[in-house]
Amino acid sequence: MRKTSIFLFVLLFALSAVLSACSGGSGTTPTNAPANNNTGGGEQGSNNSEPEPEPEPEPEPVKDLKGEIELWSFNPDSFPESVEAFQNKYPNVKINVVVMNIVEMHEKVLTAIATGSGGPDVLFLEGGYFRQFNAIEGLEDLLQEPYNAGQYQEHFTDANWNRWMSVDGKRLIGMPWDMPPAVTYYRQDIMEENGFPSDPAELMQYMADPDNFMNIARTLKNKDIYILEWRDQPVSLMNNGISFFDKDLNYRRNTDSFVKGLDISKQIAQEELYLRQSIWSEEGQQAVKNGKLAFVFAGSWGAPLVQEWAGEEQSGKWRVTGLPFGSYGGNGGSVLSILSQSKNKELAWEFVKWNLATDEGQLIWTKKGMMPGYKPAWEFPEFKNVKNPYLGNQNTNQLYAALLDKVPPSFATPLDPIADEIWGPGIADVMEKNLDSQAALQKIEDDIMAAVAVERQKLLDARN
The answer on pLDDT for 37 being more than 70 is: no
For the question of whether the overall pTM of this predicted structure is more than 0.95, the answer is no
- For residues 459 and 368, state if they share a domain: no
The answer on pLDDT for 25 being more than 60 is: no
User: Per the domain annotation, does 12 fall within a domain?
Assistant: no
pLDDT interval class at 307 (50, 70, 90): very high
Rounded distance between C-alpha atoms, residue 408 and residue 158, angstroms? 8
pLDDT interval class at 241 (50, 70, 90): confident
- For residues 241 and 296, state if they share a domain: no
pLDDT per residue over 156-184, tens digit each?
999 999 999 999 999 999 999 988 999 99
User: Per the domain annotation, does 365 fall within a domain?
Assistant: yes
- For residues 101 and 200, state if they share a domain: no
Question: Is-contact 344 67, C-beta < 8 A?
Answer: yes
User: Per the domain annotation, does 245 fall within a domain?
Assistant: yes
Backbone angles phi, psi at 213, to 5 degrees: -60, -45
Bin 326: left if φ > 0, else alpha if -120 < ψ < 50, else beta: left
pLDDT at 61: 67
The answer on pLDDT for 16 being more than 60 is: no
pLDDT interval class at 463 (50, 70, 90): confident
Residues 6+ apart with CB under 8 A from 303: 44, 45, 46, 185, 320, 388, 390, 391, 396
The answer on pLDDT for 3 being more than 50 is: no
Rounded distance between C-alpha atoms, residue 290 and residue 241, angstroms? 30
pLDDT at 54: 53
Number of domains comprising the chain: 3
The mean pLDDT value of the chain amounts to 89
- For residues 88 and 141, state if they share a domain: yes
pLDDT interval class at 369 (50, 70, 90): confident
User: Per the domain annotation, does 14 fall within a domain?
Assistant: no
pLDDT interval class at 64 (50, 70, 90): confident
User: Per the domain annotation, does 310 fall within a domain?
Assistant: yes
Report the pLDDT averaged over residues 132-137.
95
C-beta neighbour count of 243 within 10 angstroms: 19
Sheet architecture: strand order including 182-187: 295-299, 182-187, 318-321
pLDDT interval class at 60 (50, 70, 90): low
- For residues 318 and 345, state if they share a domain: no
- Residue 34 or residue 441, greater confidence: 441
- For residues 243 and 351, state if they share a domain: no
User: Per the domain annotation, does 296 fall within a domain?
Assistant: yes
The answer on pLDDT for 239 being more than 50 is: yes
pLDDT at 357: 97
- For residues 220 and 193, state if they share a domain: yes
Segments forming the whole domain that contains residue 237: 232-270+414-463
